[in-house]
Amino acid sequence: MEHKPEPQDLLVAFLLVQSLLERRSESLFQPFGLTGAQFNILNLLAYRDGRMDQAALVDLLLVGKSSISIVLNRMVRASLVRREEHPKDRRQSVLVLTAKGRALWRKASPRYEAGVEKVFGALKKENRAAFLENLETLYGALRQDELADQAASAPALKEMLVHLSRV
């Protein structure tokens, strides 16, 4: 008798994959002295001409917002990024990728891209669109559980991917 996956089976499988992705991420960035969150910040800045409003960057980050200021402060202390005064709003700042940050990103980025290709390249090209559609369905279901006013303003998964992509 064939086992038909139940929602709980899908959740456990998803969590197992997430856990492995997190461990893989740690091992990819550890040789460079980076965390996944730090690399994500370097990556976002690098693909946006090395400058970005801190508020805009925070909206795109894939980490919890409570830890962002700690991560950014460490990166500033390590001279990977610097803060500049926002030209229009003195309460905000602009994050700028330093030469040291760009050099580190250039070293880490090829290893990251190879790791992503190795893992997600395992999916057949003809299955990728369906996989993305399934993830969008899950994303939408999770967003519905949030407060209505927050969910209404939240971008769809595909919109987030456009903002996060380097294209």
Strands laid side by side in the 93-97 sheet: 51-53, 93-97, 81-85
Q: Is 33 left (phi over 0), alpha (psi -120 to 50) or beta?
A: left
Task: Tell me the residue type at 67.
Answer: S
Provide the 3-class DSSP secondary structure of residue 143: helix
The set of long-range contacts for 102-106, using a CB threshold of 8 Å and a minimum separation of 24, is 102/42, 102/46, 102/50, 104/32, 104/34, 104/42, 104/80, 105/39, 105/42, 105/43, 105/45, 105/46
Q: What is the pLDDT along the chain (167 residues), one digit of tens a residue?
A: 677 888 899 999 999 999 999 999 899 999 999 998 899 999 999 999 899 988 888 878 866 566 788 899 999 999 999 999 878 877 778 999 999 999 999 999 999 999 999 999 999 999 999 999 999 998 888 877 764 545 455 566 666 666 555 43
